Chain A
Amino acid sequence: MVEETRSQVSDPSPKNVRQVDPKTLEIIWTDGHESVYSVRHLRENCPCASCIDEWTGEKRIDPSSISENIQPLNLKSVGLYAIQFFWNDGHDTGFYSHKLMRKLCQCGECSSGKQEV
């Protein structure tokens, strides 16, 4: 009974967060899924209000304006539901919810089932 009463459990959380190489982040989730991300892809999809229009959801950041050498300096958890990236271009206002992180996953399985992102 107890296990079934916890609806939150169904939403996976990061179990292990690791830097693979200077351009790649890996997250292993509590449901066993292994996500990989190019850090550039994450920066391009920053969900903060200056990168995405709050009202229309339109992307306001031009991907070509992001430096070739974009990398995080640091990343950390926000509460129990999101991750914050501190980028080397000075940008740090995006809270990437776990849900968004799953949507952005670029592992073979996820990218084959998705349209170009």
Chain B
Amino acid sequence: MEDQELQVKVMAVLKTVIDPDLHKDIVGLGFVKEMNVTGGKVKFQVELTTPACPVKEQLRTECETKVRAIDGVDSVDVEMTAMVRTAQHSQPILTKVKNIIAVASGKGGVGKSTVSVNLAIALQMSGARVGLMDGDIYGPSIPQMLGIPISPPKAGSDNKFFPHEKYGIKVVSAAFLSKEGQPLMLRGPMLGGIIQQFLQNVDWGELDYLVIDLPPGTGDVQLTLTQRAPLSGAVVVTTPQEVSLIDAEKGVRMFESVKVPLLGIVENMSYFVCDNCDKKHHIFKSGGGNTLAEKFKVPFLGEIPLVGEVVEGGDSGVPVVLGDPDSPVSRAYQALGGQVAAQLSITHSSEDKSESSFELAWKG
């Protein structure tokens, strides 16, 4: 059979491969690249929207099996690549950052920082370039969790400064701005100023994902970020108890009122698995996060178990996803990373073309 004829057949077959998140075929989505057919040898790339795609292997197998079944095909070589798409809205700051993810909760103590750190590392492990901004100005804890000693950030040119780096992740935190153990005592308006600095004066370089760990509540820092940073989406962290859910609901409503797409809800400390049995003990009730997600019709991104390793990881500076990547809790975080990346791809593809960032000079 002619190579050209064969190529048409291959494309036709690939049109039946559907991306389960985007609900469209991979040819229509423009994922199939570098198609090359010579003497029955078929070679092509499938370019996904994120290296963290949770269905990568499933798609590869489906492509291979379907193409190999075509008459006249001797061999199939599928290369899976990824090109992370940029959010549509681009305010002049953070232009080299493709996606900005805010991790929030209405209430404190639900483990936002732990989730942010492990989410950032899970994304990084999938091959993406990741930054982490500690938005908790009064109680910065990210440096401790990543085991970064407190030292002032390195200054660059043009008033810019460089983030610290650890485990391949770029990190900015207010903890680096004062001496260890010294509190930063500031009034409200100063908070906005520091956040503005983090957004404008940090030389992040090129990033696929910038994870922002927000302080609890719905105050100054949250508002400055939603007004100044082109947030791609928000993740709301909750714990299963009702008191936590009440506040998580406020977090969800805050993002709704400022029109930041809600990527979904994560339930942290969902259950406890003890040493001796594999049973999941739901010590703080169960299903609260899922109920909240259903109420607001947003995706439920998963349950993170409560285990001692998470705390040890946070205290020792080696986050659990890195320290013990095969443990159930690490797998829960890796799944979360995949989910977040997938939801971002969905928001980008379904975004109606609103003029979300504009400036109009009035002619008198």
B256 within 8 A of A: yes
- Complex Cα distance, B152 from A29, in Å, reads 47
Among the listed B259, B299, B353, B360, which residue makes an inter-chain contact with A81, where contact means beta carbons less than 8 Å apart? B259
Residue contact A2 to B362, C-beta cutoff 8 Å: no
The answer to whether A22 and B356 touch across the interface, beta carbons within 8 angstroms, is: no
B23 touches A2 (CB 8 A): yes
- Cβ-defined partner of A8 (8 Å) among B89, B259, B346, B362: B259
A66-93 contact mask (Cβ, 8 Å, vs B): 1 or 0: 0000011111111111100000100000
Q: Are A16 and B352 in contact (CB under 8 A)?
A: no
Interface residues as binary, B256-272 with A (CB distance below 8 Å gives 1, 0 otherwise): 11111110000000000
Q: In the complex the two chains form, what is the Cα distance from A3 to B299 in whole Å?
A: 11
In the complex, which residue of chain A has the Cβ closest to the Cβ of B347? Answer: A6
Chain B residues in 8 Å Cβ range of A11: 256, 259
Contacts of A95 in B (CB 8 A): 227
Interface assignment of B364: CB less than 8 Å from any CB of chain A: yes
For A71, the chain B residues whose CB sits under 8 A away are: 362, 364
Query: A17 in the interface, Cβ–Cβ < 8 Å?
Result: yes
Decide yes or no: A80 and B360 within 8 Å by CB, A4-B297, A14-B354 being known contacts: no
| Beta-carbon contacts under 8 Å, A1-19 to B | 2-9, 11, 13-19
Which of the four size classes fits the interface of chain B?
35 or more
What is the minimal beta-carbon distance from A43 to any residue of chain B, in angstroms? 12
Contacts A2-B350, A81-B258: A75 and B362 contacting too (C-beta < 8 A)? yes
Q: Is the CB of B227 within 8 A of A79?
A: yes
Does chain A have a CB within 8 A of B298? Answer: yes
- Per the CB 8 Å criterion, the residue count for chain A at the interface is 34
Contact A98 B259 (CB under 8 A): yes
- Bound-state CA distance A17–B363 (Å) is 14
Q: Which of B22, B259, B298, B350 has the most CB of A within 10 A?
A: B259
CA distance A88 to B226 in the complex (A): 27
What is the distance, in angstroms, from A92's C-beta to the closest C-beta of chain B?
13
Chain A residues lying within 8 Å of B297, measured Cβ to Cβ, are 4-7
Q: Are A7 and B259 in contact (CB under 8 A)?
A: no
Residue of A22, A73, A75, A80 with most chain B CB atoms under a 10 A cut-off:
A80
Q: Within 8 Å CB of A30, what residues of B?
A: 352, 354
**B284 within 8 Å of A by Cβ?**
no
Q: Is the CB of A15 within 8 A of B296?
A: no
Chain A CB within 8 A of B243 CB? no
Q: Does B357 contact A (CB under 8 A)?
A: yes
Q: Are A6 and B261 in contact (CB under 8 A)?
A: yes
Chain B neighbourhood of A5, CB < 8 A: 297-299
Q: Which residues of A contact B258 (CB under 8 A)?
A: 79-82
Q: Are A19 and B360 in contact (CB under 8 A)?
A: yes
Asked whether B358 lies within 8 Å of A19 as measured between CB atoms, the reply is no
Does any Cβ of A come within 8 Å of B1's Cβ? no
Contacts A2-B350, A6-B350 hold; do A77 and B261 have CB atoms under 8 A apart? no
The 5 A-B pairs at the shortest CB distance, nearest first, are namely A13-B354, A81-B259, A76-B359, A80-B259, A81-B258
Q: B-contacting residues of A (Cβ < 8 Å)?
A: 2-9, 11, 13-19, 22, 30, 71-82, 88, 95, 97-98
Which residues of B are interface residues toward A (Cβ below 8 A)? 21-23, 89, 226-228, 230-231, 256-262, 296-299, 346-347, 350, 352-364
Pairs across A and B, CB under 8 Å, 8 listed = A5-B297, A7-B296, A17-B360, A22-B363, A71-B364, A76-B360, A80-B230, A95-B227
